Amino acid sequence: MAWRHSLRFRLAATYSLLALALIMLISLGVVSLLLSRMDQQFNARLNDRADTLAEAFANPGAGLGKTAGGANAYTMLIDGDGTVVAASPILRVFEKTRDPFGNQSRVNIGDTPVRAVRREAGAFGTLWVGLPEDDLVSARQSAISALLIALVCTPLILLVVGWWVGRRALAGLQGAANLADQIDPTRSLATLPLPAREDEVHRLLSAINRLLVRIEAGQAREKQLLGQIVHELGAPLTVLKASLRRAEQRTDDPEVRRAALVADELTFTTQDLMQLARGQLELKLAWHYIPARTLQERLERLVPGTDFMGDWTGGILCDPDRLTQAVRNLLANARRAAGPEGSVTLTLAETADHMTFTVRDSGPGLPPELGERIFEPFVSGAGSSGLGLSVSRQIAVMHGGGLSGGTHPQGGAEFVLTIPGAALGDED
């Protein structure tokens, strides 16, 4: 199963996405709150410094014992005409010049971002006070970088952890799925082992086991009913066939001959139904070594108008009745597809290992949309019961061979049935 279709992967991915969304929201909230508090503290420090300096100018005695700034302080005293009359050492270049910053609250002095406020300084004019923002900018960048790293690494960590947790949590379900894959529907349906812990997996497997029991009981009833129907049809059909054969010999009436063919068709249909009811494992082959010509004669009687090609002088190791049924089904389908005026050919080819029966008709070919489904029971592309090809493939597999089919490049359907060759030596 592809990893993207795995339930563990989907659970881990869902868990990771939900956790990432929650972590992103919480982290954004925490970082926003942290940056907001840092900004508030910065503004408080700036306003406190500006208020202290302004009070010292307005009331010289009130500023005793308070520190307004050191050598790196950003302060300027601006008179009423907008001229800088005094400045801290770092801003000494602006003395005796016009106010360089006006009402800007954020300025750059050199490479340092500075946030500034203004205060009235009594008779001295206006006091401009700035505070460097480089520490605040560094803290903001560090917080954003940490958030981005967390958003990149967290999903990968959560995906790995979620995959591991999902693997352990769904181990019982995976084991049950592996066992369910091994169930052969042609055999008796075995129930799945239940885990010791009565959790959701236990409930699911219990429900599957109850379903398997019901399916097996239903299959048994269907087989029993089908077998009874076939048995009830067998005796009347046998009598009907014998009566029609005698009437055909006496009268040579084409309608009687046609009715006899229909009776043969019904007989083989009941045989197909019986094979379906019994199943492959309940059916045993009766092996015989027969001349190929014997099989040809039987098929000529069952499907008149067939052209036989290839080498029919050898011998075949098979169950004659079952192999006749398999090849006859192919020929009957071919005749039905080709119509009364069409051609049906059966070619026998023998190699050292296999015997190959190739049935080809002049009909329209197989419906391309059916594909391999043409061999499933009750699937038909020519208006038949849909059992013949399924039974023919089953018989071929029981002989150790196989059956394939398709549309011939030159038109018409072509089916190839293979069985192992006899490979008999002199002693055999």
Could you tell me if 12 and 156 lie in one domain? Answer: yes
Looking at the DSSP bridge assignments, the partners of residue 359 are 346, 415
What's the pLDDT tens digit per position in 353-405? 899 999 999 988 888 777 788 888 767 655 555 677 888 998 999 999 999 99
What's the pLDDT tens digit per position in 44-80? 988 988 888 888 887 765 544 444 444 457 899 998 8
| C-beta atoms surrounding 90 within 10 Å | 18
Give the end of a domain, one of 283, 305, 324: 283
Could you tell me if 255 and 305 lie in one domain? Answer: no
Could you tell me if 13 and 157 lie in one domain? Answer: yes
Could you tell me if 35 and 54 lie in one domain? Answer: yes
Within-domain flag for 193: yes
Could you tell me if 251 and 330 lie in one domain? Answer: no
How many Å apart are CA 271 and CA 274, to the nearest integer?
5
Give the end of a domain, one of 227, 251, 283: 283
Within-domain flag for 51: yes
Which residue type sits at 371? G
Contact 346, 357 (CB under 8 A): yes
Could you tell me if 98 and 152 lie in one domain? Answer: yes
Q: Of 411, 413, 415, 412, whose CA–CA distance to 403 is shortest? A: 415
Question: Is residue 279 helix, strand or coil?
Answer: coil
DSSP string, 332-370: HHHHHHH-TTS-EEEEEEE-SSEEEEEEEESS----TTT
Within-domain flag for 57: yes
Give the end of a domain, one of 256, 283, 310: 283
CATH number of the structural domain spanning residue 192: 1.10.287
pLDDT for the residue 67: 44
Give me the number of domains the chain comprises. Answer: 3
CATH number of the structural domain spanning residue 351: 3.30.565.10
CA dihedral 284, 289, 294, 300 (to 10 degrees): 40
Residues 6+ away with beta carbon under 8 Å from 219: 189
Within-domain flag for 171: no
Within-domain flag for 159: yes
Residue 409 has pLDDT above 70, yes or no: yes
- Measured in degrees and rounded to the nearest 5, phi and psi for residue 64 equal -65, 135
Could you tell me if 18 and 122 lie in one domain? Answer: yes
Could you tell me if 216 and 290 lie in one domain? Answer: no
| Domain membership of residue 272 as a residue range | 184-283
CATH number of the structural domain spanning residue 11: 3.30.450
Which pTM was predicted? 0.47
What's the pLDDT tens digit per position in 248-306? 778 878 787 778 767 776 776 777 677 666 655 456 788 999 999 999 998 988 888 89
Alpha carbon distances (Å) from 415 to 19, 241, 344, 389, 401: 58, 29, 11, 10, 13
Within-domain flag for 169: no
How many Å apart are CA 383 and CA 291, to the nearest integer?
34
Could you tell me if 124 and 195 lie in one domain? Answer: no
Could you tell me if 209 and 269 lie in one domain? Answer: yes
Cα dihedral sign, 288-293-295-301: negative
Within-domain flag for 174: no
For a pLDDT cut of 90, what percent of the chain falls above it? Answer: 18
Could you tell me if 109 and 190 lie in one domain? Answer: no
* 111-131 mean pLDDT: 88
Question: Is residue 78 helix, strand or coil?
Answer: strand
Within-domain flag for 173: no
Three-state SS annotation for 22-38: HHHHHHHHHHHHHHHHH
Q: Of 276, 300, 243, whose CA–CA distance to 385 is shortest? A: 276
Residue with tokens 């949309």: 369
Could you tell me if 95 and 193 lie in one domain? Answer: no
